[in-house]
Structure 1
Amino acid sequence: MAQPTGAALRTLAIEYKGIQEEPVEGFRVRLVNDDNLCEWEVAIFGPPDTLYQGGYFKAHVKFPPDYPYSPPTVRFLTKVWHPNVYENGDLCISILHPPVDDPQSGELPCERWNPTQTVRTILLSVISLLNEPNTFSPANVDASVMYRRWRDSKGKDKEYEKIIRKQVASSRLEAEKDGVIVPMTREDYCVKTKAPAGNALGSGVTAIVQLHG
């Protein structure tokens, strides 16, 4: 596996430090291993006033060796029934697609990845996608059909909602195991959540960045 460039490590170190100092509301971000800047664990809290309220969804974000010129990948570890999440947990979202011209995709080049994007913009896009799935090119066709029925019936068709509620309840058990208090109100949700102190930018990572400097 190719080693990350020094530029990639420096960029990731800056982004990680920035998110620790100024977290994105509704998320908790930390490194999977303190000596590896290229793999992050993200905990996503379900936004209030949505089907996902009270949910605790964990995902891994993996960065390529030439980041930010190529996009990272996002894979949910927690089961998420969603039109834009594959069965294996991979997230399908335009912002993470390579910047190639593919007329068949239905996506504009400006909707795809470009080096000005950051982890912060990715996280905000994920929250937006949870609330408003893209059903035009779904990763999970069955979930997309159920979502459209739920949306078009204005909530009268409960099949989609029941699955989400069940997954939210299951995710809360995982939060209890992790010792995480899931925000339930809008006020609590808007409190910016920092990673535990032990997952700050560790000396091992600092040494890696310096080595590639």
Structure 2
Amino acid sequence: MIRPRPARADYSSRRAPRGCARRGRGAAGALAAAPLPAAAVAPTLVPGFDRGLPQLLGMARPLVPSSQKALLLELKGLQEEPVEGFRVNLVDEGDLYNWEVAIFGPPNTYYEGGYFKARLRFPIDYPYSPPAFRFLTKMWHPNIYETGDVCISILHPPVDDPQSGELPSERWNPTQNVRTILLSVISLLNEPNTFSPANVDASVMYRKWKESKGKDREYTDIIRKQVLGTKVDAERDGVKVPTTLAEYCVKTKTPAPDEGSDLFYDDYYEDDEMEEEADSCYADEDDSGNEES
């Protein structure tokens, strides 16, 4: 006598809990539809394998936020092929979200020879949200607060705010990166925006200097004093600050295995490919920060 086989349970007819998007089958489809932090992802229990759950959990790889991957690529690129005007490094090797920055004052400007230290703090959802930038070096500038925070549109969240006077295209968007931020800050040093000052007194001084065609030197004298003061930090950190265009316009390649490294050029990554020399620089440099006769 042939006994009928028991009917198999049909798991495909079960509905997902309310609030969960369904895409594909099982936990893989749910994760593809709505990624969660590693701490929030519960392991899927497979029938008959509950005894081996501790081993499965021990072998599981934690989910890495996409922001970490993006920051790792940016840091690697900027250290292997530095950009003129600044250097970057991690404050702590175990923290990709906290960078130390050194900005060099452009030659032929009042900031020439300056060594300005700053910090970049990245949010967990970078590059969809902008990082926070703050100067550690004391700065006297119309668009820099006493705290060192910089008032610049590229660091503002991508929201439509008609009262700010900024166009949405001027604000942060995910196509921006550390390079565009720091080059924008360097440009801002020589070209302040006096229409929305963060330091009113510095803005007034800058306007007097501009309107007097360089005869009123109160603003520039303060800048030069601050630049001279940064030499102490540069000497303490063992940094040679570029003072000529030839030094400022870096042309670098990936260090060979037997080559040494310096403070900002640590051979943090292994790469056998030699990078081509970078030939970008300020070919058409603005002279708005130059001395005027």
Say if 2:166 is the partner of 1:166.
no
- Is 1:128 equivalent to 2:192 in the alignment? no
Give the aligned partner of residue 197 of structure 1: 266
CA positional deviation for 1:186: 1.0
- Determine if contact 2:83/2:250 at 8 Å carries over to the other structure: no
CA-based RMSD: 1.9
Q: 1:181 to 1:147 in 2, by over 3 A?
A: same
Look up the match of 1:45: 104
SS at match of 1:107: coil
Name the structure 1 match of 2:30.
none
TM-score of the aligned structures, taking structure 2 as reference length: 0.65
AA aligned opposite 1:124: L
Q: Give the number of aligned pairs.
A: 200
Change (3 A) 1:91 1:5: farther
Matched, 1:105 2:173: no
The structure-2 alpha-carbon separation of the partners of 1:78 and 1:201, relative to structure 1 and needing over 3 Å to count, comes to farther
Q: 2-side partners of 1:162 and 1:201: how far apart?
A: 43
Q: Would you identify which runs of 4 or more consecutive aligned residues in structure 1 move more than 4 Å?
A: 2-5
For 1:81 and 1:87, locate their aligned partners in 2 and report how far apart those are by CA, in whole Å: 8
Identity of matched residues, %: 69
Question: Per chain length, whose mean CA-contact separation is higher, i.e. which structure has more relative contact order (CA < 8 Å, sep 6+)?
Answer: 1
What is the CA–CA distance in structure 1 between the aligned matches of 2:95 and 2:269, rounded to whole Å?
10
Partner of 1:211: none
Question: Based on CA coordinates, which of the two structures has the bigger radius of gyration?
Answer: 2
More strand by share: 1
Q: Is the CA contact 1:34–1:201 (under 8 Å) kept in the aligned structure 2? A: no
Matches within 5 A, 1:61-210: 61-191=120-250, 195-197=264-266, 200=268
Question: 1:56 aligned to 101, 112, 115, which one?
Answer: 115
- Structure 1 unaligned residues grouped into runs of 5+: 203-213
Larger fraction in helix = 1
> 1:13·1:201 contact (CA, 8 Å) conserved in 2?
no
After alignment, is 12-21 or 183-192 more displaced?
183-192
